Structure 1
Amino acid sequence: MIGIVDYGMGNLFSVSKALERLHADYLITSDKHKLLAADALILPGVGAFRDAMDQLPADTIQQFAASGKPLLGICLGMQLLFESSEENGFTKGLGLLPGSVRRFPGKTNDGTAYKVPHMGWNRLEFIQDSPLLTNLEEDYVYFVHSYFVSAENSPVTLAKTDYHEQVAAVVGRDHIFGMQFHPEKSSKLGMALLGNFLKIAAERKAVR
C-alpha cells in the first residue's frame, strides 16, 4: 500500500490518478498510524514552503523515513525533504536530505531578465545511477516552480535540468527520493519514474 500524505497542500487528485494508471494500491490520509503502516509514502506539495511545514506532520514523516521504507517528495514535497528554504524568510525543512532551497533570481549573471516561475517542459540529464532511473532514457518533464535546489555540488542530485541555473530535478539518497517536476503530468517518463518508485517499494517490502 502506498500512502499519499494529505496535509492540505498536495495535488492529491493527479497523483492518485497516476497511481491508478499504474495499478497501485494507495491510500490518501493524514492519519499517523496509517501513514506509518504504509509500504511507501508519497509527499506531494503545491504552495509555500513555510505554510507546508506548519501543516505537515513532520514527526510522522521523519519517523517513517527512519524506518527505511521508501519516501518520494514531489514538487514542493521534494523541497520539504531538504534542510531549509529561503521562501518567505528562512524556514527549516525535514532535514532528510542535505541542502537548501532558494528562489530563482530572475536575472542571469549578465543582467538578462528571465521569467519566474519556471513553467514548462525541460529535458532531464541523468548524472548518477539510481534504481529510480533504471532502464529509463532522458526526456522532457513538466515543471512549475519558483524555488529550486541547486544541482551544482549537490551529492544527492540524480538528474538535473537547466533553467538559467543548474536545477536538481531528481534527487535521492538511500530510500529517500524527490522530483522537482510533476511526474504525474510528465507523460511517458514521468509515469516510468513513478513505476520505478513502486518497484523500489515492492522490493523493499519483499526483504522486510
Structure 2
Amino acid sequence: MKTVIIKYNAGNVQSVMYALDRLGADYLYTDDESEIRSADKVIFPGVGEASTTMAYLREKKLDLLIPSLKQPVFGTCVGMQLMCRYSEENDTTCMGIFDVDVKRFPVIPGVKVPHMGWNNITGYQTELTESLPDNAYVYFVHSYAAPVCAETVAVCDYIHPFSAMLKKDNFYAAQFHCEISGAAGQKIIENFLNI
C-alpha cells in the first residue's frame, strides 16, 4: 500500500512521519501530482496560517488536485480547515470540500485562546474512531474551528461545541493532532490506513 503525505509549507510533518513509522507504514512525502494521484491513501497534515498556506497550495495547484482525489484523504489541523469552504483567519477562501466555514473562537474573559492541550471528543460517527473508548482524549492547538454541521462525525466542546472531525465521501479530517494524541490518535491513523 502506498501512502503519500502531501508536501507543502506546513509544520509538524516529522511527527506524522514518526506516527506512520510506528505503524510500519510505507509512505512518501511529496508534492508531485502523479505520485499523489497514484497513492492508495493521502494524508494532508498541517500547522500554519490559513492564507499563506492556501497561497502556497494555489501556486502548486494543489488546491485543485486535493478536491479531485478519489482515494481516502485525511486532513488534520490546518489541513482540515483548508478543506472547508472559508476561514476567518485572514479572510481566506479555502478548498470547499466540506460545506462549512471556519470561525475564530469568541473572546471570553478568562478563557484562553488558542485552545491548546488535551480535550475529549464525543459523538463518534466514523470508521476512523472504531475501537476508541468513549470520550477519548486527543491533543488540540488551534484558535479557529469549524462549527458543528451536517458533515461533523465527532465533536469537542471548548467555549462551545465544534467539529473535532469531519467526513464527506472519501474525505476525512480531524481538528486535533492525531500524530501527537497518544494511543487514541495512533488508532485513528491506523484505522485510516486500514480503510
Q: Indicate the TM-score class for this superposition, using the shorter chain for normalisation.
A: over 0.9
Match of 2:15 in 1: 14
Cα gap change, 1:59 to 1:97, in 2 (>3 Å): farther
Match of 1:174 in 2: 169
| Cα offset, 1:132, TM superposition | 1.5
Matched, 1:135 2:131: yes
The one of 111, 114, 117 equivalent to 1:117 is: 114
1:30-109 equivalent positions in 2, closer than 5 A: 30-56=31-57, 59-60=61-62, 62-88=64-90, 90-107=91-108
Match of 1:206 in 2: none
Q: Which amino acid aligns with 1:192?
A: K
Provide the rounded CA distance (Å) in 1 between the counterparts of 2:184 and 2:123.
12
SS where residue 125 of structure 1 aligns? Answer: coil
Report the TM-score when normalising by structure 1: 0.87
The one of 164, 180, 190 equivalent to 2:159 is: 164
Provide the rounded CA distance (Å) in 2 between the counterparts of 1:3 and 1:197.
13
| Cα offset, 1:63, TM superposition | 3.5
Structure 1 unaligned regions, length at least 5: 201-208
Q: After alignment, is 129-138 or 27-36 more displaced?
A: 129-138
What is the root-mean-square deviation in Å for CA atoms of aligned residues?
Answer: 1.5
Provide the rounded CA distance (Å) in 2 between the counterparts of 1:137 and 1:126.
11
Provide the rounded CA distance (Å) in 1 between the counterparts of 2:116 and 2:22.
25
Report the TM-score when normalising by structure 2: 0.93
Structure 2 unaligned regions, length at least 5: none
Provide the rounded CA distance (Å) in 1 between the counterparts of 2:69 and 2:83.
16
Contact 1:62 1:96 in 2 (8 A): no
Match of 1:203 in 2: none
Contact 2:33 2:65 in 1 (8 A): no
Aligned identity (percent) is 40
| Cα offset, 1:44, TM superposition | 0.9
